[in-house]
């Protein structure tokens, strides 16, 4: 399948960023991974794939290491952005959902390359024995504790991985608070990182304001979402943008994403969500939840 976003990034976005873009030291690419496996998880268009083959992941990590990149945790990256620290050659690695292939395939590669990462857990899928959903195994709590002892950080990805905007406020608070509590009980330390499941509704200002306030009240400090872009000082600390990565990211496309050549994709992403949001508002006759 043709990758129009790839062509536009390599032959338009990257050259423009090289000529006119902001200083790289003031941006942090947060890379968004999911599964490290050969499972195509629906065989969707390359843009929407959430799996990265182990050999592709290994090539990406070794390229990063060989080109002088270092990994940093979300807390440290946000603190560095806020203080104006030089963040050239700095990345944050994140993994959503809690697939067990991180333990078997991803972590050995990260360890060899000297990188750290944060995994966001949908806690209902993390059990004593590997739970299987849609043909994929998830981490066990024993895996989580072992990875944590090796320096891997963990955060909340809700309890049941719902589309939060479809829930009433009380249900949203449960999804956030209980997932946080369960991870804390299993790790024996505070958990204050969050990753938004599904497409982040940045166009819905009332909802995002309510969600940010709820996260703050529950004791979360930083969070990420699927808005495309690199984090900067002006970003919302609860909804930091990320760069989606999968098997189709060759090292030239990965480099372009790290340097800002893919940031332009946030505009069509936002427009698509805005159009869908307005269509939904016109079509629905049900009373919508009130977020205050």
CATH of the domain at 156: 3.20.20.370
Q: What is the Cα Rg of the chain in Å?
A: 19
Q: Which helix or strand (DSSP H or E) is residue 52 part of?
A: strand 51-52
Helical (H) or strand (E) element with 156: strand 153-156
Please check whether residue 8 lies inside any domain of the structure. Answer: no
Tokens of 176: 């956030």
* Cβ neighbourhood burial of 233 (10 Å; 0-12, 13-18, 19+): middle
Q: CB of 49 within 8 A of CB of 285?
A: no
Q: Is residue 80 part of a domain?
A: yes
pTM above 0.85, yes or no: yes
Beta strands 193-195; 70-71: pairing state = unpaired
In 150-264, where does DSSP find H-type helix? Answer: 169-187, 205-217, 251-259
- Within-domain flag for 15: no
| CA angle centred on 222, ends 89 and 168, rounded to 5° | 140
- Report how many domains make up the chain: 1
| pLDDT at residue 4 is higher than 90 | no
Between the CA of residue 201 and those of 34, 58, 225, 276, what are the distances in Å? Answer: 20, 32, 10, 10
Q: Is residue 20 part of a domain?
A: no
Q: Is residue 290 part of a domain?
A: no
Instruction: Please report the pLDDT score of residue 21 as a whole number.
Output: 65
Residue 7 lies in a domain: no
Phi, psi of 190 (to 5 degrees): -65, 145
Q: Does any domain span residue 93?
A: yes
Q: What is the mean pLDDT of the chain?
A: 92
In a domain, 4, yes or no: no
Range of the domain at 127: 26-283
pLDDT of residue 1 exceeding 50: no
Per residue in 139-195, pLDDT (tens digit) is 999 999 999 999 999 999 999 999 999 999 999 999 999 999 999 999 999 999 999
């Amino acid at each position: 399948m043709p990758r129009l976003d790839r062509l536009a990034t390599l032959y338009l976005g990257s050259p423009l960023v090289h000529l006119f873009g902001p200083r790289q030291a003031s941006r942090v690419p947060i890379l968004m991974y999911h599964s490290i496996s050969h499972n195509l998880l629906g065989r969707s268009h390359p843009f929407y794939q959430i799996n990265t083959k182990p050999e592709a992941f290994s090539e990406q990590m070794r390229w990063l290491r060989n080109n002088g990149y270092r990994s940093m945790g979300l807390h440290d990256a946000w603190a560095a952005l806020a203080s104006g620290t030089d963040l050239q050659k700095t990345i944050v690695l994140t993994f959503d959902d809690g697939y067990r292939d991180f333990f078997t395939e991803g972590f050995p590669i990260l360890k060899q390359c000297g990188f750290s990462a944060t995994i966001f857990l949908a806690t209902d899928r993390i059990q004593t024995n590997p739970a299987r959903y849609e043909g994929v195994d998830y981490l066990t709590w024993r895996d989580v504790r072992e990875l944590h002892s090796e320096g891997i950080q963990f955060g909340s990805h809700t309890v049941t991985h719902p589309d939060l905007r479809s829930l009433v406020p009380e249900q949203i608070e449960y999804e956030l608070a209980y997932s946080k509590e369960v991870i804390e009980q299993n790790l024996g330390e505070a958990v204050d990182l969050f990753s938004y499941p599904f497409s982040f509704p940045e166009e819905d200002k009332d909802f995002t304001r309510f969600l940010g306030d709820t996260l703050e009240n529950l004791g979360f400090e930083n969070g990420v979402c699927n808005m495309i872009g690199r984090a900067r000082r002006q970003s919302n600390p609860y909804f930091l943008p990320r760069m989606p990565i999968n098997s189709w990211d060759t090292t030239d496309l990965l480099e372009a994403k790290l340097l800002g050549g893919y940031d332009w994709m946030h505009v069509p992403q936002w427009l698509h969500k805005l159009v869908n949001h307005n269509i939904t508002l016109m079509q629905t006759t049900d009373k919508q939840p009130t977020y205050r």
